[in-house]
Structure 1
Amino acid sequence: MAMEHPLWRTSTALGLGTLLWLGASACGGDDDGSGGSAGSGGGTGGDGGSGGSGGSVVAPHCAALVAGMNTAFLVDGTERAFILDLPTEVETAGPWPVVFNWHGLGDTAQNMSSLIAGLVNDPSFPFIGVTPEDAEHAIAGQSFDWDVFSVEAATNTEARLFDEIMICLDQRWGVAADHVHSVGFSLGGIATDMLGVTRGDQFASTASYSGAYFSNSANTATLGMLSSFVSWPAPTHGNSYAQMVMHGGTIDTFAMGPVTVHFDEYAVNDQAYLNGMGHAVVLCDHGGGHTAPAAGMMPVQVFEFFRGRPRGTASSPYAGGLPSDFSSSCTFYGGS
């Protein structure tokens, strides 16, 4: 795997005069992959991720899920698509860890899934990978991919997609409830952080490349007039999932008119914010700007982090030092 995956790079070709400062990868196209046929239908709610060993009753739309691209998966009346990367023994073993994987603005699930597909059979941490495709969430008539701006926990589009996929995965193959994770880059990192707020009771650990918590007032205070577009609830759960927070240093920025967004500042703000709520944080600065992944912060290291930190861990395995293959720029901060 190359040190810098070209499909995760940001593009300065994205125009100003829009909210694209939130953007990450504009690379890739609108190809949504070839994959298999999709599940249709979709549930009507639920918490998702109960974790178990599957079950004898599998809803038809859950039974229709296949490895590869799934389309026409109905969630609250909207058809959604996502890629499933499945371990070889998915039908005969389990329950399985689950990792959600969110792409940056303008990118595609097909591109993003290529970063995790080769890891699902890692004997030390086999897992089911879920890479959603965005539904072109619109603000003022323009698509911003994910519903991560004005957030209502019960009805948020991405949180509800998470709910319904988790229900199906548990019915079909069984979910290891202590190993549910999420990772994303830029706008996808913000989606991961948003799920930490709205569905954080279910996560063991998460990871974000150039993300941001917009429930953190230190972040929204930097947005100026753009803050009117952003409204998140405060976290209401008490689950102290761990998080790997990665950024590209002082050049990890995007200019939007009079506002320059500094993702490195968001990362530092969020380390303090998360620590204050009891979350352990690994904070990393790869220094490469608004791009990912980077040496020592590759998917291999992210999944090593996930493997070592199941939900409910009382004492972090990283309190005494990080693994030797992690970037030297990474520092562990224990939660309060």
Structure 2
Amino acid sequence: MTFLGREVRVWAGARSATPAPVVIYWHATSSKPIEALSGLGQAAIDEITSRGGVVFAPNAYDGQGGKDGTPTTCNNVWYVGDLNTADEALACAIQQLNIDTRRIHALGFSAGGFQTAHMAYARSSYVASVVTYSGGTTAYYGTPPLQDTTNPPAVMGVHGAEGSDVSVIDLAQATAAFENDIKAKGSFVIDCDSGGGHTIPSGIAPSGWQFLKDHPYKVTPRPYASSIPSSFPAYCKIR
């Protein structure tokens, strides 16, 4: 589908009687929206659509996402203006389907991980929780202010080993910078250091989706405050 003139891959279910979730997926440099099958997983997409929900995966246009003059979000692939496309897609879903506005989530890998981190701040008025794969923030680009200071979204930061998960910059360090900053703003954060390189770790997608499901908007009490589910990889820790 097209929103604000931008192509978005959509997996959508039929309108249901029970409110359903929305997940927004941001892909990596030189990748495509179909990457959501790895980062989110087919099983999660099937669950979301069977419940009447939607997965939106915007398509970057060879680094030209900033046609409206807005700056890059630390990756030269995604731009601040691309969040407007997500806003429009979400508005369409809310209008056409029975969407649970407490269950709007985002995740992405590499460049998409930086976009996801940026979205956690810039759209904290509606984003409940996020998963970043090898993405975060840097001192050079900084972070936008929280759109809603009362809702720093819950974060699951997934990355490889420092010195190994590298794509121009060290993504383990970028993840840590994001986690430390948003935790200081009141977010709940778990860190998942796979010890590997620059990739989405094998088998992590079901845990990412579980994290998102368990962290709706302003959830209280925090479900993982004392421990992370045993189904998660042993390398995931509460930060």
| Alignment TM class, shorter chain as reference | 0.7 to 0.9
Q: Give identity over the alignment, percent.
A: 24
Map residues 126-145 of structure 1 onto 2, 5 A cutoff: 126=51, 127-138=53-64
TM-score, scaled to structure 2: 0.85
Residue aligning to 1:116? 41
Structure 1 stretches lacking a partner, 5+ long? 1-69, 140-145, 214-218, 221-226, 256-260
User: Following the alignment from structure 2 to structure 1, what is the Cα–Cα distance between the partners of residues 221 and 35?
Assistant: 36
Contact 1:150 1:232 in 2 (8 A): no
Equivalent of 2:87, from 157, 160, 163?
163
SS state of the match for residue 135, structure 1? coil
Contact 1:116 1:129 in 2 (8 A): no
Counterpart residue identity of residue 269, structure 1? A
State the 1:284 CA deviation. Answer: 0.7
Contact 1:101 1:129 in 2 (8 A): yes
Say if 2:230 is the partner of 1:306: no
Change (3 A) 1:231 1:287: closer
Map residues 1-336 of structure 1 onto 2, 5 A cutoff: 70=1, 73-75=2-4, 79-87=5-13, 90-113=14-37, 115-122=40-47, 126=51, 127-138=53-64, 147-149=72-74, 156-213=80-137, 219-220=138-139, 227=140, 230=141, 232-238=143-149, 239-250=151-162, 251-255=164-168, 261-295=169-203, 298-333=204-239
What does the per-residue CA deviation read over 1:98-136, in whole Å, with 9 as the maximum and x for residues that have no partner? 00111100001134346534323438x944111111133
Contact 2:108 2:133 in 1 (8 A): yes
State the 1:85 CA deviation. Answer: 1.3
SS state of the match for residue 267, structure 1? helix
Corresponding residue pairs, total: 227
User: Following the alignment from structure 2 to structure 1, what is the Cα–Cα distance between the partners of residues 122 and 188?
Assistant: 18
Counterpart residue identity of residue 237, structure 1? D
Change (3 A) 1:132 1:94: farther
User: Following the alignment from structure 1 to structure 2, what is the Cα–Cα distance between the partners of residues 211 and 253?
Assistant: 10
Change (3 A) 1:116 1:86: farther
Change (3 A) 1:108 1:252: same
SS state of the match for residue 122, structure 1? helix
User: Following the alignment from structure 1 to structure 2, what is the Cα–Cα distance between the partners of residues 206 and 313?
Assistant: 14
User: Following the alignment from structure 1 to structure 2, what is the Cα–Cα distance between the partners of residues 83 and 254?
Assistant: 26
Bigger radius of gyration: 1
User: Following the alignment from structure 1 to structure 2, what is the Cα–Cα distance between the partners of residues 157 and 290?
Assistant: 26
User: Following the alignment from structure 2 to structure 1, what is the Cα–Cα distance between the partners of residues 222 and 24?
Assistant: 22
Change (3 A) 1:313 1:232: closer
Counterpart residue identity of residue 96, structure 1? A
Contact 1:98 1:180 in 2 (8 A): yes
Runs of at least 4 residues off by over 4 Å = none
Counterpart residue identity of residue 107, structure 1? S
What does the per-residue CA deviation read over 1:16-49, in whole Å, with 9 as the maximum and x for residues that have no partner? xxxxxxxxxxxxxxxxxxxxxxxxxxxxxxxxxx
Change (3 A) 1:108 1:150: closer
TM-score, scaled to structure 1: 0.62
- The two structures, once aligned, show a CA RMSD in angstroms of 2.5
User: Following the alignment from structure 2 to structure 1, what is the Cα–Cα distance between the partners of residues 128 and 147?
Assistant: 16
User: Following the alignment from structure 1 to structure 2, what is the Cα–Cα distance between the partners of residues 74 and 173?
Assistant: 17
Contact 2:24 2:105 in 1 (8 A): yes
State the 1:138 CA deviation. Answer: 3.6
Structure 2 stretches lacking a partner, 5+ long? 66-70
